[in-house]
Amino acid sequence: MADLPKDTKEATVIGNDTHIKGEMSFKKSVRLVGSLEGRVVGEGELHVAEGARCKADVESPAVVVDGSIEGNVTARDKIQLNAKGVVRGDIRAGKMVMSEGASFYGQCAIGPAAIKDGPAPRPGQAAPHAAHTGAPGHGQGHG
């Protein structure tokens, strides 16, 4: 087993043979390797690992996506979509990093003002203040 990065040594790991349905809340860090359906509210980092599926609205200071999230994401500090990461839903975050190869289907509002209004709207609802960056490849590609 590979060593975890120093800041995730105390992470709770939801294994690949585990499926959670309901609301999950956490204080430190969570690494999701299995699947989760419902709602996630965290005070630490949520890492959705490669192959993991999160069908939930997510609120956490930091979100790292190597697997897939289907739902709206509010990351008060930062969301990071790595090369194999997929998000289908709206994103509101203080900062966003999107690697080449990552997929994002939804609208996004990034920056300090984006996170002042509370969590992202539920699927099917318009984002407040028509929050869309308009940048090519970002916030486009519904389907």
What tens digit of pLDDT does each residue of 21-77 get? 999 999 999 999 999 999 999 999 999 999 999 999 999 999 999 999 999 999 999
109 near 94, Cβ under 8 Å? no
Judged by phi (left if over 0) then psi (alpha if -120 to 50, else beta), residue 98 lies in: beta
What tens digit of pLDDT does each residue of 111-132 get? 999 888 655 555 555 544 434 4
State how far Cα 59 lies from the chain centre: 8
DSSP 8-state secondary structure symbol assigned to residue 112: G
- pTM here? 0.77
